[in-house]
C-alpha cells in the first residue's frame, strides 16, 4: 500500500491532522493507498503559496512560461510509466490505456505551450481624436481546479496548461477516488523545474474544498463534474464573485439514419458506451434509430455488446473495466430496474456480478420512451437505451428535448441530413459519422445544463484570462 503526501510549494508534505483518504482498486476492492486530507491551515497555505508565486510567474514573458510547459511535457513522458501505473491501479484502467492518457496529457500541455506567441489583444478605434484603445489579455490570478475521477491525468493537464501559459497559478484538488496519479504528476512538475508555488496538488475533504473555493485570493474555479457539483461551485463563486468554468453532465444522443453504415455505427456506439465502463461525459447515452433499420440495428448493438466482456484489465486489457465504486454501480443498476418496471425490455446485461470488483455488464434496453428516467438522466455507465423514430425532424426534436447539450452524434451518408443536424442540434459538439473524442485544438463546451465556459483550443485558453482596456491619449 502506498502512502502519499500533498504537494505544496514544490514540497511533498504530510498533514498535521490524522484524517486519511483511503483509495481502493475498483477492480479488486483492495485498499491500495492512504492520502492525507489537508487541514484548513494547509489548504490555505497552498493558496498563499500560489498567490505569492503568481506575482513573479505573471511577469515572465509568455514564451518563458511556454518553455516551462515544454519542459513539463517532457517530464510527463519521462514519468509516464509511474503515472500510468498509479492511474491503472486506482481507476481499473489497463496499464496501456493509463500510460496513453499520460502521453495525451503531455500533448495537450505542449499544445498550450505553443500558444505563447498567440495570446493576442486588440487595438480598437476610438471616437476621440489622437487616442487609441488597447484591449489586453491578462491572467486572473490563482485558479482552483477540481479534477474528476474518470480521466484524472488528462483533465488535470487540460486545465493546468492553459492556466499556466496565460500567467495564472493553480491549486489542484484531485478526486478522492483517484488522487495517486495526481501526486505522480506532481513529481513530474517538480522534475520539470516549475517554480515554487506555481502548481500545488492537495487532497482534501468537501468542507476544505469549499474553504479554498471561497477564499478571497482565488480568482477562478474550474470544475469537471456533475451538475450537482457545478451548482455547488456556482454557490462558492458567489462569495467573492470568482469566475467559474464548468464542464458538467452529458447525455449524448446518437441518431442513426437508414442510409448509415450500420455495422460501423453499431461498433463505434458500443465502443463509446463501454469505454472506461461508460464513465465518460461524451459517451453515447441514448440512441435514436430510424424505424426502417431499427430491428437490424438492435441486432448489431446486441452482437457488439456480447463481444465486450467485463473483468480485471490487468488480466486482459480487452475487458471492459470496473465502475469507480459500489455506489456508482448500485445507482446504475437501480436505474436499469426502474426502466424495466416502466416498460423497457432488457436485451443484454442488467445484473450485478458476484465476483470482486465494481463491475457491471454492458446493458442494452429497448422499448424505451423519451420520458423515461433512463433517457432523461445521465447514466455514466455501460447502459444504452434505444428508441425508434420515423423522420429526421422527429429524431432532432427528441435529441433536443433534453436538459443537457454537451455532445451529439449523427450517422448518415446524406450531406443534407448531416448539415441539417449540425445546424439544428442543441449541443456544443456535433460528430458526424463518428463518436466523440474531444480534439484538444477544438473547443469542448456544453449548452444548457452541460456547463459554462469550456476547455481546449484558443477559446479554452482564453477562459483563463481577463481583459484590461487601456485608453491611450497622445
Looking at the annotation, which residues are catalytic?
247, 281
Inter-axis angle of helices 62-78 and 95-113, nearest 10: 170
Phi, psi of 173 (to 5 degrees): -105, 105
Phi-psi region of 42 (alpha: psi -120 to 50; beta: other; left: phi over 0): alpha
Other CB atoms within a 10 A radius of the CB of residue 124 amount to 11
- CA distances from residue 390 to 344, 384, 397, 399 in whole angstroms, order as listed: 19, 20, 12, 14
Amino acid at each position: 500500500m502506498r502512502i502519499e503526501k500533498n504537494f505544496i510549494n514544490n514540497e511533498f508534505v504530510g498533514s498535521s491532522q490524522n484524517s486519511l483518504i483511503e483509495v481502493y482498486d475498483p477492480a479488486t476492492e483492495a485498499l491500495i493507498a492512504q492520502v492525507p486530507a489537508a487541514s484548513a491551515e494547509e489548504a490555505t497555505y497552498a493558496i498563499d503559496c500560489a498567490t505569492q508565486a503568481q506575482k513573479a510567474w505573471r511577469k515572465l514573458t509568455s514564451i518563458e512560461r511556454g518553455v516551462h510547459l515544454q519542459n513539463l511535457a517532457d517530464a510527463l513522458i519521462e514519468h509516464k510509466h509511474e503515472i500510468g501505473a498509479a492511474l491503472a491501479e486506482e481507476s481499473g484502467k489497463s496499464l496501456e490505456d493509463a500510460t496513453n492518457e499520460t502521453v495525451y496529457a503531455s500533448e495537450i500541455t505542449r499544445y498550450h505551450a505553443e500558444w505563447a506567441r498567440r495570446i493576442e489583444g486588440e487595438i480598437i478605434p476610438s471616437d476621440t481624436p489622437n487616442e487609441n484603445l488597447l484591449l489586453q489579455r491578462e491572467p486572473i490570478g490563482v485558479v482552483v481546479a477540481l479534477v474528476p475521477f474518470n480521466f484524472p491525468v488528462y483533465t488535470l493537464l487540460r486545465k493546468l496548461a492553459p492556466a499556466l501559459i496565460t500567467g495564472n497559478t493553480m491549486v489542484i484538488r484531485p478526486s478522492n477516488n483517484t488522487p495517486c496519479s495526481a501526486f505522480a504528476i506532481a513529481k513530474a512538475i517538480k522534475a520539470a523545474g516549475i517554480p515554487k508555488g506555481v502548481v500545488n496538488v492537495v487532497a482534501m475533504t468537501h468542507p476544505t474544498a469549499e474553504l479554498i473555493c471561497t477564499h478571497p485570493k482565488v480568482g477562478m474555479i474550474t470544475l469537471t463534474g456533475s451538475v450537482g457539483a457545478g451548482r455547488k461551485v456556482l454557490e462558492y463563486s458567489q462569495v467573492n464573485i470568482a469566475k467559474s468554468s464548468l464542464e458538467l453532465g452529458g447525455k449524448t444522443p446518437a441518431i442513426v439514419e437508414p442510409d448509415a453504415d450500420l455495422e460501423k455505427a453499431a461498433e463505434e456506439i458500443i465502443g463509446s458506451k463501454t469505454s472506461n465502463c461508460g464513465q465518460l461525459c461524451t459517451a453515447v447515452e441514448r440512441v435514436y434509430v430510424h424505424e426502417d433499420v431499427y430491428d437490424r440495428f438492435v441486432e448489431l448493438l446486441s452482437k457488439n455488446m456480447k463481444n465486450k466482456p467485463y473483468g480485471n484489465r490487468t488480466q486482459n486489457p480487452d475487458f471492459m473495466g470496473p465502475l469507480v465504486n459500489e455506489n456508482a454501480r448500485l445507482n446504475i443498476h437501480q436505474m436499469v430496474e426502474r426502466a424495466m418496471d416502466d416498460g423497457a425490455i432488457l436485451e443484454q446485461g442488467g445484473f450485478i456480478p458476484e465476483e470482486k470488483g465494481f463491475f457491471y455488464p454492458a446493458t442494452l434496453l429497448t422499448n424505451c420512451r423519451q420520458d423515461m428516467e433512463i433517457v432523461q438522466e445521465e447514466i455514466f455507465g455501460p447502459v444504452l437505451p434505444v428508441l425508434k423514430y420515423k423522420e429526421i425532424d422527429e429524431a432532432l426534436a427528441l435529441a433536443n428535448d433534453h436538459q443537457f447539450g454537451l455532445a451529439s452524434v449523427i450517422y448518415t451518408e446524406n450531406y443534407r441530413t448531416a448539415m441539417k443536424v449540425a445546424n439544428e442540434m442543441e449541443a456544443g459538439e456535433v460528430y458526424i459519422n463518428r463518436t466523440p473524442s474531444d480534439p484538444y485544438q477544438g473547443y469542448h463546451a456544453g449548452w444548457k445544463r452541460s456547463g459554462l465556459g469550456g476547455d481546449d483550443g484558443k477559446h479554452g485558453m482564453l477562459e483563463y484570462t481577463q481583459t484590461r482596456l487601456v485608453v491611450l491619449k497622445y
